[in-house]
Amino acid sequence: MQESLFESLVRLASDAIVFADREGTIRVWNSGAERIFGYSENEAVGKSLDIIIPEKMRENHWKGYKRAMESGYTKYEGKLMPTKAVRKGNDTIYVEMSLSIIKEGDEVKGALAIMRDITERWLKEKEMKKRLE
């Protein structure tokens, strides 16, 4: 079967494109996500988003996720949000993320996150702030 243009764009994007269903199970994991997080598509698809969420942040994440799945709304829609994440091997990284709730009609299907690794920039800014103080 021939891959659609849309599927090619998602698969080849350098940013991580991750879609999780209503339960937080990863259903789409592109090559950008593989590069940033270190998990292959086969390792990530079917797993919980917990594989990339730092343990200390999980409780709050899941409260917000459940609320967004029930309401079909997130206050982060259309915004770029810096946050911590974890790579395979449990290394902490910083990502800039945009988040969208995906619906078919009125039915919420899950959440789409597009993420970019900003670890290097984050650490440089942190060091600069430290020097300024």
Look over the chain and give the mean of its residue pLDDT values, rounded to a whole number: 93
Q: What is the DSSP letter of 91?
A: -
Is residue 90 left, alpha or beta, with left meaning phi > 0 and alpha meaning psi from -120 to 50? left
Q: Dump pLDDT digits (tens) for 55-104.
A: 999 999 999 999 999 999 999 988 999 999 999 999 999 999 999 999 99
Q: Token pair for residue 56?
A: 């200390």
Classify domain 5-132 by CATH number. Answer: 3.30.450.20
Q: For position 2, what pLDDT does the model report?
A: 60
Q: Tell me the pTM.
A: 0.88
